[in-house]
Amino acid sequence: MKYTRLTKEQLEEMHPEFINFLATQSIDKKEWDDIKSNKPEIAMQEIDVFSDMIWDKALSNVRFIDHFSANFIFLFKCEEHNVFSFVINTNNKKVDFLTKDGINWLSENLFSDEVEIQKGKKDISQDRNQSLFSIIKQGGIISKGELFSKLEHLINN
């Protein structure tokens, strides 16, 4: 398996797509019910293949990923062959970026000595989707890139 198996809830949400997936393999409802009952390992393999297919499609469309922790914010802009990043951190132990107050503090102190911002760039031409999945597995959240874009604008102007 390339990524991770979709959860039961995710599979339920994708029920129509999963039915189409099975149909492309000439598996109808009766046969699927038989496979689930009598060959559960085959059923799991089918779910794994479907999961990888869904992850691949979703990851191919990812443009931004955000990852927050108490003292760090990682912002990623994902292009075809590169990931650009901003890493924001503070040594101020009173600040927690996981709270609204922490984000407000950051907006007021972004260019102060208490905040460090690092820019980065990484080549991901080998396996883009696997690289992005790794970031998501570590707690990254797919975003629309508002924070990355705002920070990029502030720094470049």
How would you write the pLDDT of the chain (157 residues) with one tens digit per residue? 999 999 999 999 999 999 999 999 999 999 999 999 999 999 999 999 999 999 999 999 999 999 999 999 999 999 999 999 999 999 898 999 999 999 999 999 988 999 999 999 999 878 899 999 999 999 999 999 999 999 999 887 7
Helix (H) or strand (E) holding 143: strand 141-143
pTM of the model: 0.84
Q: Where are the beta strands (DSSP E) in 15-133?
A: 64-68, 72-78, 82-90, 115-123
What does the pLDDT read at residue 126?
Answer: 82
> Taking the domains of the chain in order of start, what are their residue ranges?
8-60, 64-156
